[in-house]
Structure 1
C-alpha cells in the first residue's frame, strides 16, 4: 500500500536515558535525543505502567461512570473505571477487578476494545481499553476513596458532556467515542 514504507532517515536517535526519579507508578527520566539533521536536545520522558479501563454498557443505552475530583487539574470529572495493571496480571482481569472495586458492579463479558497512548511525545503510558456488556450489582464499592458518585450515564449524552468539560480524560473520551462510532 502506498505510504506504508518507513523512511528511517527521519527517525530520531536516542543516545541514552538518565533516570531522575523512580517509584512503583512512575519513572521520570531525561533522554538525550538527536534529530536527523544533527540537532540534539534533552527531553523529559515519563514511563508509566499500563492501565486498563472499562466501558460497561447496560444494554439500555447507559454506560457506567464515576464522578471524581482530580486534584492535578482541580476539577470534578466523569471517568470510566480502571486502574494500573499489576505485574503478571492479565489486563482483562485488572479491568474487571477495578470496575468492581471502584463502582460495586461486577462486569460481565469483558472484551478488549483498543489500546491508546494518550501522550506519545512525553509518556509511555499505554491504556488498554475494554468493553463489558452488562454488570451485576454486588454492593457498595470496596474503595470509598475512588469516586464521589457512581452512575449510569446515557451514552447519547457523552458528546455534550465532552464538549461541556465533564469528561476530559483521554482514555475515557477515546473509549466512549469509539463506542459511539460503532453503534
Structure 2
C-alpha cells in the first residue's frame, strides 16, 4: 500500500497554512500543498480536539443510548454516549467522564476497542471507541445547556433501528460494528 522505503506516493506535503476560523470547538485551516504530480493545490480542513464514544452494556445485556437534538441537522438523533476530549485529557478518563455525565452510569470494566476517523475528507477528528460493562447507576451530571433522553436497546433492536434508518449517527454505527464480536460473545 505504501511506496518504496516507506514513502507514500499519494502523500501531499504542506507548503504553507493559515487559520481562517478559530471557534470554541472547531478550528478551520487552509493549506497550500504539494501534490504527488508536482503541482500545487489548496486544502481546507477542520482541526478537532478528538472525541470518545462508549458502547455500554447493562447487566441485562441492553445497550445504553441517548437521544439528543443536533442543531446542524435540526433534529434529535439516537446515538451512543460520546463527547469531546479536553486538552491534555487521557482518553479513558474522558470516556469515563462522558458516560457518567451523560447517562449517570459508571462501569467496572473498560476496554479500548480502537479509533475511527469519521470525516476524513474535511477534518482531522478522531473518535476513540470504548466498550464498558458491569454498569451501575450513580446519577447524571449534564453540562450546562445539555439536554438528553436516555434509552436502552437490545443489540437486535439497535441493529434493526440502523437498518430502518432510525439510527444514522456514523460514530454509533461504527462503534457498534467494531464491538459486535464482544457484544455477541457476551450474549447481548
- Which TM bucket (shorter chain)? 0.7 to 0.9
- In terms of mean alpha carbon deviation, does 31-40 or 5-14 score higher? 5-14
* Further displaced range: 6-15 or 44-53: 6-15
Q: Are 1:30 and 2:26 matched, yes or no?
A: no
Q: CA deviation at 1:7?
A: 5.2
SS in 2 for 1:156: helix
Please give the per-residue CA displacement for 1:62-94, whole angstroms capped at 9, x wherever unaligned: 110101111111222111112111122211111
Contact (CA 8 Å) 2:51, 2:83: kept in 1 or not?
A: yes
TM-score (norm 1): 0.88
Residues 140/86 of structure 1: CA separation in 2 closer, same or farther (3 Å cut)? closer
CA contact (8 A) 2:13 2:33 kept: yes
| 1:114 aligned counterpart, secondary structure | strand
Residue of structure 2 in register with 1:112 after alignment: 112
Q: What is the CA deviation profile of residues 139-166 of structure 1, one whole-angstrom value per residue up to 9, with x for unaligned ones?
A: 2543474344101111112222122232
Which shifted more, 119-128 or 35-44? 35-44
The alignment's TM-score, normalised by the length of structure 2, stands at 0.86
RMSD: 2.0
Aligned to 1:178: 178
Task: Quote the residue 1:129 is aligned against.
Answer: 129
Aligned to 2:12: 12
Cα pair distance change 1:94/1:8, threshold 3 Å? closer
Q: Would the aligned equivalents of 2:14 and 2:34 in 1 still touch at CA under 8 Å? A: yes
**Partner SS, residue 88 of structure 1:** coil
Match of 2:156 in 1: 156
Offset of residue 21 of structure 1: 1.1
Q: CA deviation at 1:9?
A: 2.9
1:68 touches 1:149 (CA, 8 Å); kept in 2? Answer: yes
Check conservation: 2:59, 2:135, Cα contact below 8 A: no
Q: Which runs of 5+ in 1 are unaligned?
A: none
Q: Across the two proteins, how many residue pairs are aligned to each other?
A: 181
Structure 2 residues not aligned, in runs of 5+ = none
- Are the counterparts in 1 of residues 64 and 153 from structure 2 also a CA contact under 8 Å? yes
Is residue 18–residue 29 contact of structure 1 (8 Å, CA) maintained in 2?
Answer: yes
Name the CA distance, whole Å, in 2 between partners of 1:130 and 1:140.
Answer: 19
